[in-house]
């Protein structure tokens, strides 16, 4: 799959977060080794293999608990306590402590990983019922007491009243979903500000609460073998307010993982678009070095744009010109003066890639979506121009200075 230019640019920055560049996180012991007090704890801290296993066990346990219904979560908690007693019984083993601990811990790690995957799959299946069977979805989600399930129930009350989720329930679930953010002071304060702002619509508040809880769960944008996003139906259902709620919001590097879903079609995987994307990569990486963390919001919004084009391309048949720009993005590229920022050879490569991308988009709209030739050309022109305009606003600084 094409790596989004957003991620390409992020990964070229001097500071690169592992989640943005696809690095696999290392696991460490679940407790502070400086405070290890028992022989078991010292063995775990002093043995790399056991240290990693302990981290994996804790990771899968926490993730499973976050996705299990109340009854199953309670049972797993009891099971985990019993397992800890079994593990700690290795202290009575007169032989090699590592030899006793390692097979027990490996087996538990494997078991918890399986529980986690099954729990995540069951929870996602419940969410997937929302578009066609909201009553059944609500019944299943009520079995959970997790922040994300609570946020979905708030969503159902607000957007799908036929789901049967009452206002009284929604109030309770709203508090639970909000409390789930409390261990992240920044996210919690942002959500509180949005919640209390009378200028914000109720739709935006509900969707932002949902977004903030989704991004705390281990959904993956780029890894097709991992847990897929299941909330993508909301973009077709709610349009602009959903794109806003799930796009750039924090003004910091955490916008780099905005949970906006993959594009719903392959147009941006087309070789012509890949060429255009690559033609801008060098200048965007260069500008990003001085843009500050707030620019992660731009990368998030570019992902939103890709998604929007594939979910509702008809929105790009009619477009309003953005204020503050007196020339087209193509003319701005042609008239660019600062060779240090953007050398002529790079600009010419970008200009040469524009028309093939426009042609590929028109063909997609006509051949795949059944548009007329006239509408296909108009839609393609607007889509490409908007894509270019967004990047030119980033390159010239007007998108982040307000000029």
**Both tokens assigned to 226:** 């991992």
- pLDDT at residue 3, as a whole number: 35
Residue 22: pLDDT over 50: no
- pLDDT at residue 197, as a whole number: 96
- Please say whether the beta carbons of 59 and 108 come within 8 A: no
Q: Which of 269, 374, 356, 260 is nearest to 308 (CA)?
A: 260
Residue 10: pLDDT over 80: no
Per domain, the residue ranges of the chain are 31-125, 129-220+227-246, 267-401
- pLDDT at residue 324, as a whole number: 54
- pLDDT at residue 188, as a whole number: 94
- Residue range 347-397, pLDDT digits in tens: 999 999 999 999 999 999 999 999 999 999 999 999 999 999 999 999 988
- pLDDT at residue 309, as a whole number: 96
Query: DSSP letters of 203-238?
Result: HHHHHHHHHHHHTTS---SS-TTSPPP--THHHHHH
More confident residue, 15 or 62: 62
Cα separation of 220 and 298, whole Å? 20
- Residue range 104-134, pLDDT digits in tens: 999 999 999 999 999 999 999 999 999 999 9
The radius of gyration of the chain's CA atoms, rounded to the nearest angstrom, is 25
- Residue range 303-323, pLDDT digits in tens: 999 999 999 999 999 876 655
Cα separation of 93 and 207, whole Å? 54
- Residue range 330-351, pLDDT digits in tens: 999 999 999 999 999 999 999 9
Q: Which of 278, 301, 309 is nearest to 400 (CA)?
A: 301
Cα separation of 113 and 57, whole Å? 8
Cα separation of 258 and 231, whole Å? 13
Residue 13: pLDDT over 70: no
Number of other residues whose CB lies within 10 A of the CB of residue 222 = 13
Cα separation of 337 and 356, whole Å? 25
- Please say whether the beta carbons of 242 and 234 come within 8 A: yes
Residue 402: pLDDT over 90: no
CB-side neighbour CA atoms (13 Å) of 372: 4
More confident residue, 403 or 213: 213
Model confidence at 56, pLDDT cuts 50, 70, 90, reads: very high
**Both tokens assigned to 374:** 């006239």
Cα separation of 317 and 377, whole Å? 9
Percent of the chain with pLDDT over 90: 68
Cα–Cα separations (whole angstroms), residue 2 to 7, 271, 275, 302, 388:
10, 10, 11, 14, 18
- pLDDT at residue 23, as a whole number: 35
- Residue range 139-153, pLDDT digits in tens: 999 999 999 999 999
Q: How many residues does the chain have?
A: 403
Residue showing tokens 């003319």: 331
Find how far residue 358's CA is from the centre of its chain. Answer: 28
- Overall average pLDDT of the 2-9 stretch: 36
Percent of the chain with pLDDT over 70: 89
**Both tokens assigned to 383:** 């889509």
- Residue range 223-275, pLDDT digits in tens: 555 678 899 999 999 999 999 999 998 888 888 878 888 888 889 999 999 99
pTM value? 0.83
- Please say whether the beta carbons of 254 and 211 come within 8 A: no
Lowest mean pLDDT among 68-77, 91-100, 164-173: 91-100
Q: What is the mean pLDDT of the chain?
A: 87
Cα separation of 306 and 383, whole Å? 10
Cα separation of 352 and 329, whole Å? 14
């Amino acid at each position: 799959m094409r790596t989004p230019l957003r991620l390409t640019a992020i990964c070229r920055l001097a500071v690169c977060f592992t989640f943005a560049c696809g690095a696999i996180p290392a696991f460490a012991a679940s407790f502070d080794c400086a405070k290890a007090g028992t022989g078991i704890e010292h063995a775990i801290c002093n043995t790399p293999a056991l240290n990693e296993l302990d981290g994996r066990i804790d990771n899968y346990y926490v993730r499973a608990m976050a996705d299990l219904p109340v009854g199953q979560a309670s049972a797993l908690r009891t099971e985990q306590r019993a397992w800890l007693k079994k593990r700690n019984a290795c202290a009575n083993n007169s032989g090699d402590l590592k030899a006793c601990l390692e097979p027990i811990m490996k087996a538990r790690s494997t078991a918890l990983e399986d529980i986690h995957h099954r729990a995540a799959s069951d929870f996602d299946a419940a969410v997937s019922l929302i578009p066609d069977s909201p009553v059944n979805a609500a019944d299943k989600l009520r079995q959970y007491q997790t922040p994300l399930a609570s946020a979905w129930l708030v969503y159902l009350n607000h957007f799908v009243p036929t789901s049967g989720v009452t206002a009284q329930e929604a109030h309770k679930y709203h508090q639970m979903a909000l409390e789930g953010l409390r261990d992240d002071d920044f996210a919690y304060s942002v959500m509180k500000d949005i919640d209390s702002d009378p200028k914000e619509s109720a739709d935006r508040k509900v969707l932002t609460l949902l977004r903030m809880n989704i991004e705390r769960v281990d959904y993956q944008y780029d890894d097709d073998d991992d847990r897929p996003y299941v909330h993508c139906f909301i973009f077709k259902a709610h349009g602009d307010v959903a794109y806003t709620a799930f796009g750039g919001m924090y003004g910091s590097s955490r916008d780099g993982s905005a949970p906006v879903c993959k594009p719903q079609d392959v147009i941006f995987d087309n070789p012509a678009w890949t060429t255009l994307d690559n033609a801008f990569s060098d200048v965007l990486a260069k500008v990003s070095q001085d843009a500050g963390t707030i620019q992660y919001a731009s990368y998030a919004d570019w992902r939103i744009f890709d998604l929007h084009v594939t979910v509702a391309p008809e929105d790009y048949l009619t477009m309003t010109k953005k204020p503050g720009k007196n020339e087209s993005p193509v003319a701005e590229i042609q008239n660019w003066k600062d060779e240090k920022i953007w050398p002529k050879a790079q600009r010419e490569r970008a200009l040469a890639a524009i028309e093939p991308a426009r042609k590929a988009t028109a063909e997609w709209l006509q051949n795949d979506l059944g548009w007329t030739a006239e509408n296909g050309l108009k839609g393609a022109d607007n889509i490409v121009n908007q894509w270019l305009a967004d990047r030119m606003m980033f390159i010239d600084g007007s998108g982040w200075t307000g000029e």
